[in-house]
Amino acid sequence: MSDQKIPSRSEDFSEWYNTLVLRAELADYAPVRGCMIVRPYGWALWENIQKALDSRFKATGHVNAQFPLLIPQSFIEKEKSHVEGFSPELAVVTHGGGEKLEEPLVIRPTSETIIGHSYARWIQSYRDLPLLINQWNNVLRWELRTKLFLRTLEFFWQEGHTAHVTAEEAEAETLQMIDIYRDFAVNEAAVPVIVGRKSASERFAGADETYTIEAMMGDGKALQSGTSHNLGQNFAKAFEIRYLDRNGVLQHCWTTSWGVSTRFIGAIIMVHGDEQGLILPPRLAPWQVVIVPIYKNDEEKAAVLEAARRVRAELGAFRVMLDEREGSSPGFKFNDWEMRGVPLRIEIGPKDVAKGTVVLARRDQPGREGKSFVPQEGIAAAVDRMLAAIQKALYERALAFREARTADPADYAEFKSAVERGFAFSYWCGDAGCEKRIKEETKATLRCIPLEQPSGGGRCICCGAPAGEKAYFAKAY
């Protein structure tokens, strides 16, 4: 690892982010522009995200499968709004095996079409429903402006696809999955999110309704962190996904899709990180605890390492790294693991061995304020309490930051100022023209119309017309 200083987060947030992703060995740039290599430390974080989400999916009756990477181009073209939405982002294979293909193949940007084709073959009767399938895969969208984790040509994600008997069942599924994403974000990633629906212009291509979780990053910008789409019967009609109902009548299914991607890693970095580097929430961190032994000579080394290994054995229920690297000073190791965001550091030196104690150092509280001395005996319970405290503190700090950067502007002039530093929560008349004007004049987009609305009504922040709902507006990644 280079000992070069990380750019200042407060002075150059973008460069701080880019440098930190590389320096912490989360990811690296690939030879193909806009693609990324996810390094082991980054992949371990993604695996923990996968586990947290996958267990929630399975608890609600979903099962995993895998669908092909290549999709016939004609499939993409079957659903009109879907092809219009994705056409600029498609990567198309025209040759294979040295010959031109009879039909071009699209590298999947998402899988609604190939899954719609499959569901049409698998579903015959109401007894086959609901069909609840998820897949963990990679997709490719030809983005013009890319940023590691946040927006890359190829990215990793999960995409759930379900089919139902009624519109009510599909809507309930759509809302259930966005709530699962909310629960994951809050309780695993310590990222506060706002749950709401997208405006018509921001919906997923081919959806009747799109629900989203929106998070505020450390620079005040928004990040769409997960989405759940009620597809109505659009894909069912395009691919003839039909079933015989209880009366023997052939009906089209109602379908949904939903996904969270590796961009959530970007959210974790930007919400929790500080001037020293990453701060990872304990429930998702690849290493929850790092043990750093401190000694000056071989005699001290033997005793300290013996104690450090004993402590590591006591912490078998946690993800623990014992840093036994030779040739690196304790100070270097402290800085290295702080930069990598390990939530809790345990320091053990000769005096600690003699006293039967250790030093616990919290990553979220750098310096002396985050340090405490605890007995080696009962260390597992102390670590468990400390990690829980860090998890809670990270969420509360992020929530306080979002609330401090969220305004309810009195007029359009105040609105313009509000979106320069964070979120504006304002009444909107529902007119796409106002939404477009706001975007053109402020570069802020309508992030979501929250499901929980204040009573009564007000005036549109843009045109002043009567408005029944408030929406969050912000600049976004």
pLDDT band at 83 (very low <50, low <70, confident <90, very high): low
- What is the structure's pLDDT at 87? 78
- pLDDT band at residue 8 under the 50/70/90 scheme: very high
Confidence (pLDDT) at 3: 58
pLDDT tens digits, 122-153? 999 999 999 999 999 999 999 889 999 999 99
CB proximity list for 218: less than 8 A, separation 6 or greater:
9, 13, 270, 271, 272, 273, 401
pLDDT at 88: 83
Q: Contact at 8 Å (CB) between 199 and 449?
A: yes
pTM, full prediction: 0.95
More confident residue, 81 or 241: 241
- Say whether pLDDT at 81 is over 80: no
How high is the pLDDT of residue 369?
87
Return d(Cα 311, Cα 304) in angstroms, integer: 11
Q: Is-cis flag, bond preceding 130, omega within 30? A: yes
Residues 168-194 have a mean pLDDT of 98
Checking if the pLDDT of 14 tops 90, the result is: yes
HEC secondary structure over 350-418:
HHHHHHCEEEEEECCCCCHHHEEEEECCCHHHHHHHHHHHHHHHHHHHHHHHHHHCEECCCCHHHHHHH
Q: What is the pLDDT of residues 277-287, one digit of tens each?
A: 999 999 999 99
What does the block give as tokens for 331? Answer: 């100070």
230 strand-pairing partners:
209, 256
Residue 86 pLDDT more than 90? no
Lowest mean pLDDT among 3-17, 113-127, 318-332: 3-17
Non-local (6+) Cβ contacts of 40 within 8 A are 25
Q: What is the mean pLDDT of residues 166-193?
A: 98
> How far is Cα 344 from Cα 279, in angstroms, rounded to an integer?
10
CA angle (450 as vertex; 256, 475 as ends), nearest 5: 100
Domains for the chain: give ranges and CATH numbers.
13-272 (3.30.930.10), 289-389 (3.40.50.800), 406-474 (3.30.110.30)
Mean pLDDT of 9-37: 97
pLDDT band at 255 (very low <50, low <70, confident <90, very high): very high
pLDDT at 260: 98
The overall average pLDDT reported for the chain is 96
Nearest to 243 by CA among 252, 256, 254, 231: 252
